Amino acid sequence: MTGRAEYPARRVLDDAPLLAAATGRPVKHRPVWFMRQAGRSLPEYREIRAGIGMLESCFDPELVCEITMQPVRRHKVDAAILFSDIVVPLKAAGIDLDIVAGVGPVVANPVRTVADVAALPRLVPDEVGAVAQAVRLLTAELGETALIGFAGAPFTLASYLVEGGPSRNHERTKALMHADPKTWHALLGRITDVTIAFLQAQLHAGVDAVQLFDSWAGALSLAEYREFVLPHSERVFAEVESAHVPRIHFGVGTGELLSAMGEAGADVVGVDWRIPLDVAARRVGPGKALQGNLDPAVLFAGWDAVEREVRRICREADAALAAGATGHIFNLGHGVLPDTDPAVLTDVVELVHSL
C-alpha cells in the first residue's frame, strides 16, 4: 500500500492553456495535443529510433527527451506527453515481458493464480530513475509548454498480464474477474501500487499533469467496470491528488462507461470519437473538463473533411461547456496512426487555435 506523497515545488505555468482548460480557468486559445504525437508518423522519430528497441528507448533519458520534444517543435502543440509505454513500470519492476513488433507487449509468464499474484514484484522509484531523469531534462527544455506524465490503468495492465499479451476478447481476464473476484482484486491491488509508484516518480521529477490510459476498458460492461475496475482507478487518482496537478482519465470505446469514469477522481475525462462531446458531458456530469475527440482515421480524408470534423467537434465542445463542462482540450479519440501525414496535424493545431 502506498502512502499519500508530498511533492516538491514544480514549474509555475500560469499561461499554459492546457493546464487552464483542465482546471476550469479561462484560456488564451483552445489547447490541443495528440495522443501518440511522438511516434511513427514523424520522419525524425523513425530516424532516431532506427535499430533501437521500444523498451530500450524508454529507458534512455536523452532519447526520451528528444522524442518527446519532436512534436512540440514541429506542431506547436500545447503539451508534450512523456514518451514511454504503458508496460514500462511492469518491465522496470522485473516482470519478464517484451514489446514484439506487430504484436505488442508479450508477457513470458502470465498471471492467473493466487500464487502468481503473490509473486508479482513491487516497483521502487530507483527502478524508473531513467524515466524521472527524462522528465527533469524535459522540464528544463519545454519552456512554457506543459508536460504530461502517464501510466497505464490497472485494468489494462492486468489484461496484458492475465492474457499474456493483447487480446481481442479478454476471455481469460473476464474469466478470472467473474470466477475468482478475490484473486482479481488482489491482482488489481498489486498493479495499482505499481501504477501509483510510477506516477509518483514522474510527479516528483516535475510533470505538470498526468493521464491514466485504460486502453481496454471498452471491453467491459458498466456493471463490470463499477465492480471490478472503478475502485482501483479511484485509488490511483486519490493517491496523486496531493500533487495538485490536473489528472486526465482516458479509455477507448468507453462511451457507456463515462458516468462511472467521471466518478473516478480525474479532473479531465478523455472521450473517443464514437460519442459527441456534448453527449459525453451529460454522461460524465458537471464539474469536469473534456478531452477529445477527432477520429484518427479522418486525418486521411483530405483537408476539407478534416476541417469540417474539427469545426464540428469544437462546436460540440462549446455546447458541452454551456451544459456544465469546465474546459475542452482538443485531441484525437485515440492515438495518431503511423501513416498519418504530419503536415495535417500541424494544420489541425493551427485551426484549433483559431476556434
The answer to whether the annotation marks 291 as part of a ligand binding site is: no
Determine whether the annotation assigns residue 292 to a binding site. no
Name the active-site residue from 30, 36, 74, 283. Answer: 36
36 is catalytic: yes
Q: Which of 7, 10, 11, 40 is catalytic?
A: 40
Domain-embedded: residue 9: no
Per residue in 179-231, pLDDT tens? 999 999 999 999 999 999 999 999 999 999 999 999 999 999 999 999 999 99
- The Cα 224–Cα 222 span in angstroms is 5
Q: Which of 10, 11, 60, 85 is catalytic?
A: 85
- Establish whether 85 is an annotated binding residue: yes
Residue 120 located in a structural domain? yes
Is 133 among the domain residues?
Answer: yes
- Tell me if the pTM is above 0.75: yes
User: Exposed, middle or buried by CB within 10 Å (0-12, 13-18, 19+), for 210?
Assistant: buried
Number of domains in the chain: 1
Backbone angles phi, psi at 32, to 5 degrees: -145, 135
Task: Give the integer Cα–Cα distance in Å for 59 and 198.
Answer: 13
C-alpha 214, offset from chain centre:
7
Helices (H), the chain: 17-22, 43-49, 54-58, 61-75, 88-93, 114-118, 129-141, 154-163, 171-179, 181-205, 222-224, 230-239, 258-261, 277-284, 303-322, 342-354
Is 11 inside a domain boundary? no
- The verdict on whether residue 334 carries a ligand-binding annotation is yes
CATH code (residue 176) = 3.20.20.210
**Which residue among the candidates 160, 193, 272, 283 is catalytic per the annotation?**
160
Q: Does 95 reside within a domain? A: yes
Res. 22: pLDDT tops 90: yes
Q: Does residue 345 belong to any structural domain of this protein?
A: yes
Give a yes or no: residue 4 inside a domain.
Answer: no
Q: Which domain holds residue 110?
A: 17-354
25 known member of a binding site: no
Domain assignment present for residue 80? The answer is yes
Q: What is the pLDDT of residues 263-321, one digit of tens each?
A: 999 999 999 999 999 999 999 999 999 999 999 999 999 999 999 999 999 999 999 99
